[in-house]
Amino acid sequence: METAAAAFIDRTLRAEGSDERATADAARIAGGLRFYGASVGAVRGAVRDARRRHPELSHDEVTALASELWAEPVYERRLAAVVLLQGQVPTLLVNDFTRLEQLLRSAGARELVDPLVADVVRPLLERLEGPDAARANRIVDRWASEGLLPES
């Protein structure tokens, strides 16, 4: 059962999509994902509007929504999950690295990995302190040794 927020985002992305853009994006972005053909601006707008419609969402509900969006192998849904997490960075916790690792491993496209790392993982790493920072750095070092992170 899809949550109301995920259903809203999905409906909006489908409505904003075009077959021409979907075909062009599929040719440009490898990874076996499906495409609705919605623009990046439409993705950002859908997430913004969903957050306005559902301001009551807690940290756990927002991160669960990101996973829910990500569960479907649709590029725009996954990009919406990234945008959602970008806005959530101030409340993310070291425990969220487990979810972030799942997203990174299943991304299917470097165009999803890059903003997830640059705009979610790195700012979260910079914000953590003490034992949380040490734990997070060990996790990220492991990811780097496995080639999961883009070269920077």
pLDDT tens profile 72-87? 999 999 999 999 999 9
Three-point CA angle 89, 98, 41, nearest 5°: 40
Nearest to 96 by CA among 130, 56, 140: 140
CB distance 114 to 77 below 8 Å:
no
- For residue 152, the model assigns a pLDDT of 55
- 23-40: per-residue pLDDT in tens? 999 999 978 899 999 999
Mean pLDDT for the stretch of residues 12-29: 96
Say what percent of the chain tops pLDDT 70.
99
- 112-127: per-residue pLDDT in tens? 999 999 999 999 999 9
- In DSSP notation, 22-84 reads HHHHHHHS-SS-B-----HHHHHHHHHHHHHH-TT--HHHHHHHHHHHHHS-BHHHHHHHHHH
Nearest to 136 by CA among 90, 95, 107, 99: 95
- In DSSP notation, 77-141 reads HHHHHHHHHHTTGGG--GGGHHHHHHHHHT--SHHHHHHHIIIIIHHHHHH--HHHHHHHHHHHH
